[in-house]
């Protein structure tokens, strides 16, 4: 004879609003409800239709103000108390949907960084990403891996080990010599499906932006572009911070239901990690290749951009003297050029100066321009709008010259000079010249 133990159904309760606690955050509770039982009042507070509520607790968990709780009738409370006392098995202890999702997500492990290269030359942003990737991998307790694609690119795997990777997934074939979206997407998706990384980071460069978007679409996951901060939350989710709404707020974006989590980061946003000569790792040489016939694109010639034709690459400069609307006219930028020449640097600009036609677009620093990380950034007549700051605030030293003492640029400045730039800039240039004549370099007390 067998005795079948009767399972007691665990009551799920219904959500209810706690008086005075709702901060009208924008109806997160309503959008999280899977059965549409939350209506919003004109003041932005929820009204929960108890008869429809299935007690899933999604609204309770998402509410940033802890303004919602689960309500249990006295009978349900008694059942809960009995269950707790008897430790009887209960039905629906675990949300099967959540358990299934957790199982799927757990299949993905490891932080991958794409090592971008052109004709075997790596892009520096790849090493910067290995630096930030190392921190993420450490927090997650997983390996930091490089994703190396090209022809004869094994030296890039070794270089990736020097910058912190312990494993490199390599696709090496003539088909990958030039970057072509189709071939790289096929190759990357093959590796992703086979080895299942939980995070993939790529440079927000022309190639990285193109490839990341195509891969994310193919593997049906989320992608956050132009991240300025990356961290891990307590559920292993990647918290991807980036400017949003025209740069007026910093948004933290998560992709908590899909893997891999993908982000792009612009060059110079993350610091370059120390290079460890001789560091070793494992190279996984995957033979996967793509047939030339299946690729529609042919690379006929690589035409380098203006930087290699005598143009200026402000992203690699150690000293940048930037001018904004306070420069008043294009000819006044000659004054900044003189200072930049003395320092061995380049001239940058705010968007206002570029929009006014005073400087070319490739000099623009900021959210829609370049991100720079020089040793010294001198901001002349630039107010310090957030869209400008995100492009230069990680410079080693910021010197701001502005006649308005309340200009926001002073909040990120190491040294602030309140004054008329038309007097201050020539004075600095002359002082440096004098010091050079006396055989001294520029110093901190100029």
Ligand X SMILES: Cc1cc2nc3c(=O)[nH]c(=O)nc-3n(C[C@H](O)[C@H](O)[C@H](O)COP(=O)(O)OP(=O)(O)OC[C@H]3O[C@@H](n4cnc5c(N)ncnc54)[C@H](O)[C@@H]3O)c2cc1C
Q: Which is nearer to ligand SF4, 57 or 181 (CB)?
A: 57
From the list 54-62, 147-155, 193-201, 337-345, the region that binds ligand SF4 by CB under 6 A is 54-62
The H helix count followed by the E strand count for the chain is 13, 23
Task: Write down the residue that tokens 């003297």 correspond to.
Answer: 321
Q: With CB cut-offs between 5 and 8 Å by kind, which of ligand SF4, ligand X, none does residue 25 bind?
A: ligand SF4
Site for ligand X in 3-62 (CB under 6 A): none
Q: Length of the chain in residues, anyone?
A: 446
Residue 242 touches which of ligand X, ligand SF4, none (CB < 5 to 8 A by kind)? none
Work out what residue 382 binds among ligand X, ligand SF4, none; the CB cut-off runs from 5 to 8 Å by kind.
Answer: ligand X
Beta bridge partners of 47: 39
Cα–Cα distance for residue pair 234/232, rounded to 1 Å: 7
Shortest distance (Å) from residue 252 CB to ligand SF4: 17
Cα torsion 179, 181, 182, 185: sign: positive
Binding mask 20-49 for ligand SF4 (x = CB under 6 A): --xxxx-xxx--xx-x-xx-----xxx-x-
The yes or no reply on residue 366 touching ligand X (CB under 6 A) is yes
CB 359 within 8 Å of CB 385? no
List all residues 6 or more positions away from 43 whose beta carbon is below 8 Å from its beta carbon. 24
Is 383 among the residues that bind ligand X (CB under 6 A)? yes
Nearer to ligand X, 12 or 325 (CB): 325
| Residue 422 site contact among ligand X, ligand SF4, none (CB < 5 to 8 Å, cut-off depends on kind) | ligand X
Calpha distance 347→334 (Å, rounded): 9
The answer to whether the CB of 232 falls within 8 A of the CB of 139 is: yes
Region of residue 24 (phi > 0: left; psi between -120 and 50: alpha; otherwise: beta): left
Q: Does 325 bind ligand X (CB under 6 A)?
A: yes
Binding segment for ligand SF4 (CB under 6 A), chosen from 64-72, 164-172, 280-288, 308-316, is: 64-72
Q: How many CA atoms lie within 13 A of 334 on its CB side?
A: 3
Which of 262, 260, 242 has the alpha carbon at shortest distance from 252?
Answer: 242
Contact of residue 68 among ligand X, ligand SF4, none (CB under 5-8 Å per partner type): ligand SF4
Query: Does the footprint of ligand SF4 cover residue 11 (CB under 6 A)?
Result: no
Find out whether 382 and 388 touch, Cβ atoms under 8 Å: yes
Q: Which of ligand SF4, ligand X, none interacts with 420 (beta carbon under 5 to 8 A by kind)?
A: ligand X
The residue within the footprint of ligand X, chosen from 180, 266, 351, 373 (CB under 6 A), is 351
Q: Which of residues 8, 57, 158, 430 is near ligand SF4 by CB under 6 A?
A: 57
Total site size for ligand X, rule CB under 6 A = 30
| From the list ligand X, ligand SF4, none, partner contacted by residue 63 (C-beta under 5 to 8 A by kind) | ligand SF4
- Among 97, 292, 313, 420, the residue binding ligand X under the rule CB under 6 A is 420
Q: Give the angle 189-194-199 at the CA atoms, nearest 5°.
A: 65
The answer to whether the CB of 8 falls within 8 A of the CB of 79 is yes
Bridge partner residues of 261 (DSSP): 199
| 324 near ligand X, judged by CB under 6 A | yes
Q: Which does 33 bind (CB under 5 to 8 A by kind): ligand SF4, ligand X, none?
A: ligand SF4
Cα separations (Å) of 266 from 61, 208, 271, 427?
33, 9, 11, 35
Rounded to whole angstroms, what are the CA distances from 397 to 132, 320, 374, 424, 436?
Answer: 21, 11, 8, 18, 21
Please give the C-alpha separations between residue 39 and each of 48, 61, 64, 297, 398, in angstroms, as whole numbers. 6, 17, 18, 51, 49
**In this complex, which beta carbon is closest to ligand X, that of residue 199 or of residue 335?**
335
The token pair that represents 44 in the structure block: 């932005």
C-beta closer to ligand SF4: residue 24 or 88: 24
Nearer to ligand X, 13 or 391 (CB): 391
Min separation Cβ 243 and ligand X, Å: 9
Among 113, 314, 353, 372, binds ligand X (CB under 6 A): 353
Q: Phi and psi (nearest 5°) for 368?
A: -105, 10
Interface residues with ligand SF4 (CB under 6 A)?
15, 17, 22-25, 27-29, 32-33, 35, 37-38, 44-46, 48, 53-59, 63-65, 67-68
Interface residues with ligand X (CB under 6 A)?
246-247, 324-326, 350-353, 364-369, 381-383, 385, 387-388, 391, 401-404, 407, 420-422
């Amino acid at each position: 004879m067998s005795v079948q133990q009767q399972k007691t159904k665990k009551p799920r309760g219904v959500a209810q609003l706690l008086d005075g606690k709702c901060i009208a955050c924008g109806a997160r509770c309503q959008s999280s409800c899977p059965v549409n039982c939350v209506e919003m009042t004109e003041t932005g507070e929820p009204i929960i239709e108890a008869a429809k509520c299935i007690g899933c607790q999604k609204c309770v968990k998402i509410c940033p103000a802890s303004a919602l709780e689960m309500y249990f009738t006295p009978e349900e409370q008694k059942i809960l108390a009995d269950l707790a006392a008897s430790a009887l098995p209960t039905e629906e202890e675990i949300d099967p949907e959540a358990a299934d999702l957790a199982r799927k997500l757990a299949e993905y492990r490891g932080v991958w960084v794409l090592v971008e290269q052109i004709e075997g030359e790596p892009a520096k942003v790849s090493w910067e990403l290995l630096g930030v990737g190392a921190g993420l991998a450490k927090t997650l307790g997983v390996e930091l891996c490089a994703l190396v694609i090209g022809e004869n690119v094994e030296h890039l795997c070794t270089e990736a080990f020097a910058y912190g990777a312990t494993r490199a997934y390599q696709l090496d074939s003539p088909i990958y010599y030039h970057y072509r979206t189709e071939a790289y997407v096929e190759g990357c998706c093959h590796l992703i499906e086979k080895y299942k990384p939980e995070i993939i980071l790529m440079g927000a460069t022309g190639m990285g932006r193109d490839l990341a978007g195509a891969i994310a679409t193919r593997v049906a996951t989320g992608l956050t572009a132009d991240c300025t901060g990356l961290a891990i939350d307590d559920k292993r989710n990647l918290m991807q911070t980036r400017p949003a709404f025209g740069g007026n707020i910093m948004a933290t974006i998560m992709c908590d239901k899909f893997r891999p989590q993908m982000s792009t980061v612009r060059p110079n946003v993350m610091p370059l990690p120390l290079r460890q000569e001789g560091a070793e790792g494992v190279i996984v040489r995957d033979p996967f290749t793509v047939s030339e016939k299946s690729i529609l694109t042919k690379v006929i010639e690589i035409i380098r951009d203006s930087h290699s034709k005598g143009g200026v690459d402000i992203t690699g400069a150690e000293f940048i003297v930037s001018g904004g609307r306070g420069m008043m006219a294009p000819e006044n930028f000659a004054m900044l050029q003189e200072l930049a020449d003395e320092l061995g640097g380049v001239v940058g600009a705010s968007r206002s100066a570029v929009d006014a036609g005073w400087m070319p677009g490739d000099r623009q620093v900021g959210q829609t321009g370049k991100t720079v990380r020089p040793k010294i950034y001198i901001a002349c007549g630039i107010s310090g709008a957030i869209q400008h700051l995100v492009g230069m605030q990680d410079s080693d030293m910021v010197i701001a010259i502005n006649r308005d003492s309340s200009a926001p640029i002073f909040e990120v400045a190491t040294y602030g000079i309140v004054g008329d730039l038309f007097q201050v800039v020539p004075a600095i240039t002359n002082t440096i010249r004098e010091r050079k004549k006396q055989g001294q370099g520029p110093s901190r007390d100029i």
